[in-house]
Structure 1
Amino acid sequence: MTKYDAVQIAAFPVPESYTAPTDLVIKALFEESNPQGWLEANGAGIPVMLSHSGVAVTADMIAAMPDLMLVANFGVGVDLVDHAALERRGVVLTHTPDALTDDVADMAMALMLGGIRRIGAGDRLVRAGRWSTPLTRSVRGLSLGILGLGRIGSEIARLAAAFGMDISYHNRSAIADSPYQYANSPVELARTVDVLVAAIPGGGSEPLISDIVIEAIGPDGLFVNIARGSVVDESALLDALENGSLGAAALDVFMNEPKIDPRFMALDNVLLSPHRGSATEEARIRMANETYANAANCVAGRSLVDIYRQR
């Protein structure tokens, strides 16, 4: 029987030219018709699971691998991982936040600019054979609120500052020496800005961006989400976009991806993107290289990078 260093539970979305490193013996679990059954029969002796942010890592999977030491996650989001099961076993979880910071922040800016200048609506007008130039707003001088001033949020702030935006943020606590204004709550932040960007981790039991927060952004405001669909009350978001209590939204993430709520399709005040924040060749190669490197380091007893720690 083949001795595997790792099982990979999902294919990584990398460029076609990319090849996995040859210093690891990897079982492509996603090619099995019954992945859980394969794990239960063969999981002993395998120290690493290679996961993907869009695929669940369940307690049953973890239980089927008694020698598991590491779950190396391709991507920054780990809301589909059973953290309690890993903690009970003492299994380390890594992810790849630095590998995609720049590209996700760039996507946030693209969505923000597209939402403010109504790029999507303009594209649809031209394609329909129409030509009109309704006035939009200038980005310069607008106020930007960032919900989650971590790696990605900080890079969004740096980019937005170059556009002359007035920046504030909310975290669980204020960041010492931050040059940006701190808001004590998501609602307070939403009430004081023209644009609210969500850059927080998913996985909470309740969406942090509630109907009250959405209402506070206001009928002239823009909501941008490059975080996770689960961070916002999507039903309340749709209601607000439909009734005009929220001016517009620009979204790269949704609940129940890729089968998103059809109500979005009828709205002209929302810019939709199919979760493309990290979808550059450069980012995906960095993500894969780091994920495989952590797997190889675990097998060899070397130190790991980007260990995930719950907040």
Structure 2
Amino acid sequence: MHTPIVLTENVADTMIALVLASARRVVEVAQRVKDSEWQNSIPNNGFGIDVHHKKMGILGMGSIGLALAQRAHFGFSMQILYHARHQHQDAEQRFHATRCELDTLLRESNFLCISLPLMTETHHLTGQGQLAKAKMKPSAMLINAGRGPVVNEDALISALQQKALYAAGLDVFEKELLPTSSPLLTMPNVVALPHIGSATQETRYGMARDAVDNLIATLSGNVQKNCVNPQVLAQRSKQRGG
């Protein structure tokens, strides 16, 4: 089911939720309360990291990346960096975003947010070479609510174990369902969600509505919205006309 437009805002919301949960250690400290470990004050080792006025690096600047930049810029006064194949003038004008090379994005970002489709050229785009200590700040956080295989999961686990990264917020994984043996599930600095980027009542209704609209349009020969391969339709239409 290809219904990308209806997902944009909610996936961006999910990424912001992962940013906040990872930086402020929300899951970890909430569990302490449930486990009756709340003392008079939070110990120093329970402190998180500020989100506001930091640098967000967005890997990919499509509709979700743009929605994420909007939230980070206006909601948290963040400086926006991005790496993409093409310059995005809208992001630069509206959010003062700066396009940069991947190495610069890695080096400068406090939050590395991945918003890329999975293609041959993006598979494991973020791997051992990118997640090494020399490339990223040890206080940096990796956020992925795009496609799991864009990140080399073994490299991410290694970076977290070696403290080359502060934390990770993940809604997608290389293999879903995530194996129960994954080290990610035992790391307190990893927020792991079960691919819930679109999991709201309103969005799932919108996805179903778009799917029905797509089906009706296809049967009527008037496919315009959410078409993945318009060139194939054009070719078939030409063949029928001939």
What TM-score bracket applies, with the shorter chain setting the length?
0.7 to 0.9
Distance 2:172 2:225 in 1: 27
- Aligned-residue offset at 1:190: 1.1
Q: 1:203 to 1:135 in 2, by over 3 A?
A: same
2:80 to 150, 153, 167: 167
Aligned 8 A contact 2:110 2:140 in 1 = yes
- Aligned-residue offset at 1:309: 5.7
Are residues 1:265 and 2:167 paired? no
Aligned 8 A contact 1:116 1:139 in 2 = yes
TM-score by length of 1: 0.66
- Aligned-residue offset at 1:192: 0.8
Are residues 1:246 and 2:153 paired? no
SS state at 1:157 partner: helix
Compare CA radii of gyration and give the structure with the larger one. 1
The code of the aligned residue for 1:224 comes to: I
Could you tell me which runs of 5 or more consecutive residues in structure 2 were left unpaired when the two chains were aligned: 231-242
Aligned 8 A contact 2:108 2:137 in 1 = no
1:220 to 139, 150, 153: 139
Instruction: Write out per-residue CA displacement over residues 144-200 of structure 1, whole angstroms, 9 at most, x where no aligned residue.
Output: 001111000100000111211111101012223523101122x22111110000010
**What residue number does 2:206 align with?**
286
Instruction: Write out per-residue CA displacement over residues 190-221 of structure 1, whole angstroms, 9 at most, x where no aligned residue.
Output: 11110000010013363111212222233111
- Aligned-residue offset at 1:128: 2.3
Distance 2:6 2:170 in 1: 21
Distance 1:174 1:184 in 2: 12
Could you tell me which runs of 5 or more consecutive residues in structure 1 were left unpaired when the two chains were aligned: 1-73, 75-94
Aligned 8 A contact 1:204 1:231 in 2 = no
TM-score by length of 2: 0.84
RMSD: 1.6
2:111 to 189, 195, 212: 195
Distance 1:115 1:259 in 2: 19
1:298 to 218, 221, 231: 218
Instruction: Write out per-residue CA displacement over residues 126-145 of structure 1, whole angstroms, 9 at most, x where no aligned residue.
Output: 22221234322221111100
Distance 1:214 1:204 in 2: 20
Decide which structure has greater helix share.
2
Moved over 6 A (4+): none
Distance 1:146 1:217 in 2: 14
